[in-house]
Amino acid sequence: MVAPWRKAPVAKINLAIVGIGKIVRDQHLPAVAGNADYRLVAAASRHGRVEGIDNFTTIDEMLAAMPSIDAVSLCMPPQYRHAAAVKALAAGKHVFLEKPPGATLSEVADLQALAEANRVSLFASWHSRYAPAVEAAREFLAGTRIRSMRVVWKEDVRQWHPNQDWIWQAGGLGVFDPGINALSIVTRILPRPVFATAATLEFPENREAPIAASIAFTDAEGLDLEAEFDWRQTGRQSWDIVARTDAGEMLLSEGGARLSVDGRLVHEQPEREYPGLYQRFAEIIAAGRSDVDLAPLRHVADAFLLGRRKVVEAFHD
């Protein structure tokens, strides 16, 4: 744990966003607009623009032109995030990393060291951890014995990631792009760290990243945990975590939005993942700290290290 370096800032945080695409328009812009701690002052993107603020085509031009920027959210695909993060941190800006925080574990460690050296906050955001029922699931599991857990994350890639070439390229994570959201929840709600013992990754013959994966995990007490990720799902989509426990069967469904025990709904609240992320980012800036938990990315890296590879039918958008 590094000692805090800042007193609480008195003014609003002048924020810039880089990589204006789907997630910025769907989530970042409304979340920032709804948070009085921030003033959105600039955007940098090769093609995307945000109305009503200063727009640049590169982060270099933006940082040079606007020294008043305090913090930068980096929302481009993961393979291009480290280079931008180095520029922002070296310029003394606090940095919010979209998930996954980078393409490799080592490059994120490099960013942690740079943030510490420059005495600014680095936030590796995991939006699914801020889904409404995740903390209730964590509390439920803390009070009982878990016999087994199944994670089933199956969605239609054509519906959720149409024409996103980067996601199929090396470093784009493929099915682990949504799968890492499940792992971010699992690593938050379980009482002990887990580790992979076996994995199978299915690669379309024409792609660099997997379309499906299954991973078996255990923990120091022999937990039986299996995760299944599949992008070929049509019809009903599932983002479910089921735990058989001494206190009944827990179902955390809809990506962490609803919690049921033995079929009875026990927790459901309106979705506020990105408002929660921006609240947390402002808190760590005020406290002079970073928040970088690499466990979800480490599990994906372990699956790539340990996984048996199967080549499957080509995938075309």
CB of 279 to ligand NAP, least distance (A): 17
Q: Which two tokens stand for residue 247?
A: 């206190």
- Residue 185: partners with Cβ closer than 8 Å, 6 or more residues away: 128, 129, 131, 134, 137, 241, 252, 255, 256
211 lies in the site for ligand NAP, by CB under 6 A: no
179 binds ligand NAP (CB under 6 A): no
Tell me which of 87, 93, 99, 154 is the catalytic residue: 99
Q: Is position 30 an interface residue for ligand NAP (rule: CB under 6 A)?
A: no
| C-alpha span between 237 and 189 (Å, rounded) | 22
Name, in order, each residue with C-beta under 8 angstroms of 103's C-beta and a sequence gap of 6 or more.
78, 79, 81, 82, 171
Q: Does 111 bind ligand NAP (CB under 6 A)?
A: no
Instruction: Provide the minimum distance between the beta carbon of 79 and ligand NAP in the complex, in angstroms, as a whole number.
Output: 7
Catalytic residue list contains 7: no
23 lies in the site for ligand NAP, by CB under 6 A: yes
78 scored as a contact of ligand NAP (CB under 6 A): yes
* C-beta closer to ligand NAP: residue 154 or 288: 154
Contact pick of 14, 35, 45, 214 for ligand NAP (by CB under 6 A): 45
70 binds ligand NAP (CB under 6 A): no
Regarding 169 and contact with ligand NAP (CB under 6 A), the answer is no
Q: Does 87 bind ligand NAP (CB under 6 A)?
A: no
Asked if residue 275 binds ligand NAP (CB under 6 A), the reply is: no
Q: How many residues at the interface with ligand NAP, by CB under 6 A? A: 20
Return the residue of 58, 104, 112, 164 that touches ligand NAP, per CB under 6 A: 164
Q: What amino acid positions are annotated as catalytic residues? A: 99
Residues in contact with ligand NAP by CB under 6 A are 19-23, 45-48, 75-78, 80, 98-99, 127, 164, 166, 177
